[in-house]
A and B are shown apart, each in its own frame.
Chain A
Amino acid sequence: GAGVSQSPSNKVTEKGKDVELRCDPISGHTALYWYRQSLGQGLEFLIYFQGNSAPDKSGLPSDRFSAERTGGSVSTLTIQRTQQEDSAVYLCASSSGSGTQYNEQFFGPGTRLTVL
């Protein structure tokens, strides 16, 4: 079975441009997470989707960041008017929603975003 996939793997953009990052979770996983990891740093939680519930957006750093998850599967993270400090690796993870609430997260390979 396929794991979590993310595209593009690398994205270089100019300051002020908008970017879209895509995540395809593992089929059947109801929970989806976005994180940001700056060079050599820990994980910064951005947003969490669980089934049809309202997403937990508490980690989004500014209103330039938004995310959606269509049909309970694919998710897109959008960064508007990118800034140099947005440069980081953006990680997506998914986990199953089998009724238990402690299933491990499966991570994608990440999208490395560079804002010039």
Chain B
Amino acid sequence: AQSVAQPEDQVNVAEGNPLTVKCTYSVSGNPYLFWYVQYPNRGLQFLLKYITGDNLVKGSYGFEAEFNKSQTSFHLKKPSALVSDSALYFCAVRDPHAGNNRKLIWGLGTSLAVNP
């Protein structure tokens, strides 16, 4: 069955340090992968996606994610965290064999806290 796992409920990092938010998936074939962010009291926003091509994807606000097929992972990273990055992050995957159904499978989210 298709699934997405975000193994950490919460990640704490000091401002200026690199951050990683982990995501692993289970989908047959090559998946389509997404990261979304939910800032406090704001709606969900798209950050970046991997469809094909370069395994390193760059997105909004200085975030990037690396697709690793052998490890079935798509970890979100940022070289230097900001306090304003504190938010809830969601990983999502779409089965490329799902035909016209564009439904995504969502992880449970990881709360990122960046401490000043």
Chain A positions within 8 Å of B43 at CB level: 91, 107-110
Whether A10 sits at the interface, judged by CB under 8 Å, is no
Residue of A nearest to B111 (CB): A40
Are B94 and A91 interface neighbours, CB within 8 A?
no
Residues on A with C-beta less than 8 A from B42 are: 109
With a 10 A CB-CB cut-off, give which of A106, A107, A108 has the most chain B CB atoms.
A107
Contacts A106-B46, A107-B44: A33 and B51 contacting too (C-beta < 8 A)? Answer: no
Complex contact B44–A91 (CB within 8 A): yes
Given the complex of chains A and B, what is the CA–CA distance between A53 and B103 in angstroms? 13
User: Total contacts A to B, CB within 8 angstroms?
Assistant: 58
Contact assessment for A56 and B101 in the assembled complex, using a CB-CB cutoff below 8 Å: yes
A71-95 interface with B by 8 A CB criterion: 91, 93, 95
From DSSP, what is the main secondary structure of chain B's interface residues? Answer: loop
Expressed in whole angstroms, the Cα–Cα distance for A93 and B98 within the complex equals 19
- Do A104 and B94 form a contact, CB below 8 Å, given A33-B103, A43-B106, A48-B102? no
Asked if B100 CB lies within 8 Å of chain A CBs, one says yes
- Contacting A at CB under 8 A, from B62-116, are 90, 94, 96, 98, 100-104, 106-109
Q: What residues on A are CB-neighbors of B36 within 8 Å?
A: 105, 107
Within 8 A of B (CB), among A100-116: 101-110
Binding site for B on A (CB under 8 A): 31, 33, 41-43, 45, 48, 50, 53, 56, 91, 93, 95, 101-110
Task: List the interface of chain B (C-beta within 8 A of A).
Answer: 32, 34, 36, 42-46, 49, 51, 90, 94, 96, 98, 100-104, 106-109
The 9 closest A-B CB pairs, nearest first, are: A42-B108, A104-B46, A107-B44, A102-B32, A43-B106, A107-B43, A42-B109, A109-B43, A48-B103
